[in-house]
A and B are shown apart, each in its own frame.
Chain A
Amino acid sequence: SAVISQKPSRDICQRGTSLTIQCQVDSQVTMMFWYRQQPGQSLTLIATANQGSEATYESGFVIDKFPISRPNLTFSTLTVSNMSPEDSSIYLCSVEKDFSGSGELFFGEGSRLTVL
């Protein structure tokens, strides 16, 4: 299994500011993913964070708005830049279980962001 810690668990931010969310895993993992869950909606993949290379963004998400860092195999950050109320969501970090290729992913508890 994998234990994933996200910080902050929740925050209230002002329009136009930026917030960085941290994801710490208790073991080394190859692939880390960042998801967004808007109120009452399902999860949407933002990007895949690969160690040692640029993150790979999904359609509709850009690096300027959601810069991601992946400095090592246990840590990643997602920044939500120049926030607007539409960015109010839960942001979730996810990791692949191991290198077995099972496709079993572990998720953090999420970071609930409210933008005023």
Chain B
Amino acid sequence: DAKTTQPPSMDCAEGRAANLPCNHSTISGNEYVYWYRQIHSQGPQYIIHGLKNNETNEMASLIITEDRKSSTLILPHATLRDTAVYYCIVMGGGSNYKLTFGKGTLLTVNP
């Protein structure tokens, strides 16, 4: 699986949009970009995933660049409960969903 690079930490003001970047320059054509988050003392939670088109659901939006070498997860109106470690993961359909977690980005939402 391709590796990803994320900033170790970010801050965001409550109510503002949180934009979390991820670089995956070695991504293959059949690999998807997945985002999960882990709130302290809880198991990881699926957020969103995409292949090459932008995606949006009730939690977040995922913007993938045209060359697919990077992506941005957008939380449109961050709340204090969004404080968590966010993991960007690249995974191919043939990998049987074996997620390889990196270090992720610790997002701290401040009041």
Contact = CB atoms under 8 A, between A and B. Distances in A.
Interface of A: 4, 31, 33, 42-45, 48, 58, 92, 94, 96-97, 101-110
B93 A101 contact: yes
B49 A103 contact: yes
Interface string B68-92: 0000000000000000000100010
A48 B87 contact: no
Nearest to A109: B43
A42 B97 contact: no
A108 B46 CA distance: 12
A105 B99 contact: yes
Contact of B45 (A31, A96, A107): A107
A45 B97 contact: no
Contacts, number: 51
Given A44-B101, A45-B98, A104 B46 contact: yes
Nearest to A41: B103
Interface range on chain B: under 10, 10 to 19, 20 to 34, or 35 or more? Answer: 20 to 34
B102 interface: yes
Given A103-B49, A107-B45, A33 B101 contact: no
B96 A107 contact: no
A110 B102 CA distance: 18
Contacts of A43: 44, 99, 101
B43 A92 contact: yes
5 contacts: A33-B98, A33-B99, A97-B46, A104-B49, A105-B44
Given A48-B98, A96-B97, A42 B45 contact: no
A97 B44 CA distance: 14
B100 interface: yes
Nearest to B98: A45
Contacts of B98: 33, 45, 48, 58
A107 B42 CA distance: 9
Given A42-B102, A103-B91, A107-B45, 7 more contacts: A42-B103, A48-B96, A94-B43, A102-B49, A103-B49, A106-B46, A109-B43
